[in-house]
Structure 1
Amino acid sequence: MLAAMKPKPAVTEPACAPQQSPRDPLERVLTHVERHLFEPLSLTTLADVAGLSQFHFSRLFAARVGESVMAYVRRRRMLCAAARLGRNPGVEDEIEAPALIALALDCGFESQEAFTRAFAQVFGVTPGRYKRDPARYQAAAMERAMNQTPAEKPNVTLLDGVTRKDAFLVAGISERISKDNMQAVPALWPKLMQHVPFDGQKGPVCYGLCYGSNMEEGSFSYMAAAEIEPGKRPPAALTLMQVPAQTYAVFRITLGAGEIHPQMQAAMQCIFSEALPNSGRKPSGGIDLEVYGERFDPDKAGSVLDFYMPVEG
């Protein structure tokens, strides 16, 4: 079964080789944000500007920019607000309420409280404290950003062509994932391994399924699973899920030594920020698959797995 689902690896150049394109959807979005910064902006609008589904646009934006698109919009608005505050620095601890409310509304916030919370997330202090010493707090915000250490560039290759895979049934353990509980993803795998192989399991291949994204929240569901024969019942701790027939672009990931989870995070960033845009393939939405096949060994450097992304055929 594993051989039947693998396309021929005809690509020799790494998929993450840097390339520039004048039609880069992220460039269009960033330009649109700057031109309409203080107008109503939404994930739906910006995904349309990019020409991508909301799901894949969100992952692409986060991979390239390092934060969600709406967090980026809020941060850009905060930087503009900080510039306005910094033009007239003073020694007072607080800004008069009418002036702060006006600034909040100008920056697209519905209330002074929401604006103050967002401002503090970027600069670490309230607008009133910032106004006392803008240079100090600008430097602190920049230092926090620069101290975010980038992960080592992963080894990702786009395999030749596309792969069509029929619908199949899996049994596994799932959890809702957000930026606050990303470590829940690797924790699912030991729970699954307690039950495999199980009666009715179809082959040794395991899958990581990504689906059901909520773009506004930045959350999605993840399932660690194995294929099961139709009509079979899995162990009570596992739930069934149908993966529909889909056409995929397949990205091969070769892991190095060390923990797998941070390498997978770096690989996903590479795929959505570089490999996918450079591939010319358009995502179709659906269920993304991490495929852990016969060449995957978590204890060895050089271990290989494939990431199947649904694309238009």
Structure 2
Amino acid sequence: MIGILNRLIEQIEAQLRAEINLADLVRTEGSTEYHVRRMFSSLSGMPVSEYIRRRRMTQAAADLLAGQDLLSIAIRYGYGSAEAFGLAFRAVHGASVADVREHGGPLRSQPIIKFSLHVEGNRPMDARIVDREEFQLIGYATQVPLIHNGANPHIQAHIASIPVAEHARLKELSSAQPAGLLQVSAQVDPDYREGSELTYLHGVAVPGGIQVPQDLDMIQAPAGQWAVFSASGPYPSALQDLYAATATAWFPSNPWRLRVGPSIVAVLDRAPDFSTATCELWLPVEAGN
């Protein structure tokens, strides 16, 4: 995976002044656009689209300082007008085109990213691969913003709004693995941008094809393989650290890649105040190269 990302960086650099089709770039690598975008964002801290924009504006600043025509520069980097280019330029550099031309800056350059894998080897990361037929995730769903660190107050408010009796009812409906009440995230932005909207479902797993109660929402979990990880400790920080570790340690070191589908958290045990918990994280995967 690290090699694929570094080759992607090289291809992006070669095509900064042309239209970049990420799907075409990753197709020859035997991976998928979905997996590469998720791994790029997780490892670099920014979506690949934002990296491309920053690199283009870094190069555009040099063209401006060389005295080149503004409209020509705008068109060269994919903007239809000098005004649209100027807005993108200010968003990256924090200064207008006129300021840079007159004063030479300030400029906020984006260095070329180089991905590397730091192997420590003193903390094995356990996982198991599970083959599952199609199943359904049913419960109460809502739209929430993605928050990388700390508790998500939107999810907390959603869970608190569900009547206590419904939690018991959902537990009774649970009839497939992973068992018990589940935290399900679906339709997550492939770039994993903080603040982007996702579907969150508080519910349970049931076999595929069974009739779902009309008052409950449903998310389909397609047949395939799942990587299952576990974490114990302060909640939700230990779980969020586990999410990060799958991208920084497990996926780069193993022949698996993410496939499109929901991610599932099963809480196996927890303190009465939910300050600590033991959780399982289920991620949909497929064999890579």
TM-score bracket, normalised by the shorter chain, equals 0.7 to 0.9
C-alpha change, 1:164 and 1:241, in structure 2 (3 Å) is same
Using the size of structure 1 for normalisation, the TM-score is: 0.69
| Aligned: 1:307 with 2:278 | no
Q: Indicate which of 74, 80, 99 corresponds to 1:129.
A: 99
How much is the aligned-residue C-alpha RMSD, in angstroms? 3.4
Q: Secondary structure at the match of 2:219?
A: strand
Mapped to 2, the partners of 1:81 and 1:268 lie a distance apart of: 36
Q: 1:240 aligns with which of 209, 214, 218?
A: 218
Cα pair 1:25 1:51 within 8 Å, conserved: no
Q: What is the count of residue pairs matched by the alignment? A: 261
2:160 alignment counterpart: 190
Amino acid at match of 1:43: L
Deviations 1:229-282 (A, max 9, x none): 744626x3x312332332112222334x3x62x654443333223321212213
Question: 2:60 is aligned with what amino acid?
Answer: A
CA contact (8 A) 1:42 1:70 kept: no
Alpha-carbon distance in structure 1 between the residues aligned to 2:95 and 2:41: 25
Aligned twin of 2:117: none
Secondary structure in structure 2 of the residue aligned to 1:294 = strand
Between the aligned partners of 1:299 and 1:68, the Cα distance in structure 2 is 32
- Residue 111 of structure 1, CA deviation: 2.4
Which whole-Å CA distance do the structure 2 matches of 1:99 and 1:158 have between them?
A: 56
State the Cα distance separating 1:52 from its structure 2 match. Answer: 2.4
Contact 1:247 1:310 in 2 (8 A): yes
- Mapped to 1, the partners of 2:256 and 2:284 lie a distance apart of 10
Q: What amino acid sits opposite 2:138 in the alignment?
A: A
Q: Which contiguous aligned blocks of 4+ residues in structure 1 show a shift greater than 6 angstroms?
A: none
Partner of 2:119: none
> 1:82: Cα distance to partner?
1.5
Give the whole-Å Cα distance in 2 for the aligned partners of 1:171 and 1:29. Answer: 38
Kept in 2: contact 1:61–1:67 (CA 8 A): yes
Q: 1: CA distance between counterparts of 2:15 and 2:88? A: 19
The equivalent of 1:73 in structure 2 is 52
Does residue 131 of structure 2 align to residue 164 of structure 1? yes
Contact 1:192 1:224 in 2 (8 A): no
* Percent pairwise identity: 20
* 1:1-313 correspondence runs (5 A): 24-48=3-27, 50-87=29-66, 99-138=69-108, 157-160=125-128, 162-176=129-143, 183=152, 184-192=154-162, 194=164, 195-198=166-169, 200-202=172-174, 205-213=180-188, 215=190, 220-228=198-206, 230-231=210-211, 233=213, 236=215, 238-255=216-233, 257=234, 260=236, 264-283=239-258, 285-297=259-271, 299-301=274-276, 303-312=277-286
**CA apart distance, 1:171:** 1.8
Q: Conserved in 1, the CA contact under 8 Å of 2:187 and 2:262?
A: no
From the superposition, tell whether residues 268 and 112 of structure 1 become closer, same or farther in structure 2 (CA, over 3 Å): farther
Deviates more, 1:66-75 or 1:183-192: 183-192
Task: Tell me, in whole angstroms, the C-alpha distance in 1 between the residues paired with 2:63 and 2:231.
Answer: 46
Change (3 A) 1:196 1:52: same
Deviation of 1:33 after TM superposition, in Å, equals 0.7
Structure 1 residue runs without a partner (length 5+): 1-20, 89-97, 143-154
Conserved? CA contact 2:174–2:205, under 8 Å: yes
Q: For 1:101 and 1:198, locate their aligned partners in 2 and report how far apart those are by CA, in whole Å.
A: 63
Q: TM-score, normalised by structure 2?
A: 0.74
- What amino acid is aligned across from residue 133 of structure 1 in structure 2? H
Distance 1:132 1:49 in 2: 44
Whether the 8 Å contact between 1:251 and 1:307 is mirrored in structure 2 is yes
Question: In terms of mean alpha carbon deviation, does 180-189 or 221-230 score higher?
Answer: 180-189
- What letter is aligned with 1:35? A
Residues 120 and 288 (structure 1), Cα distance of their counterparts in 2 relative to 1, 3 Å cut: same
1:46-102 deviation per Cα after TM superposition (whole angstroms, max 9, x unaligned): 4325532222221111011111111111110001111223456xxxxxxxxx92211
Q: CA deviation at 1:31?
A: 1.1
Once the 2 structures are TM-superposed, how far is the Cα of residue 296 of structure 1 from its aligned partner?
Answer: 4.4
Measured after TM superposition, the shift of residue 186 of structure 1 is 5.0
Residues 289/215 of structure 1: CA separation in 2 closer, same or farther (3 Å cut): closer
Deviation of residue 32 (structure 1)? 0.9
Gaps spanning 5+ residues in structure 2: where? 111-122
What secondary structure is seen at the aligned counterpart in 2 of 1:307?
strand
Is the partner of 1:117 in helix, strand or coil?
A: helix
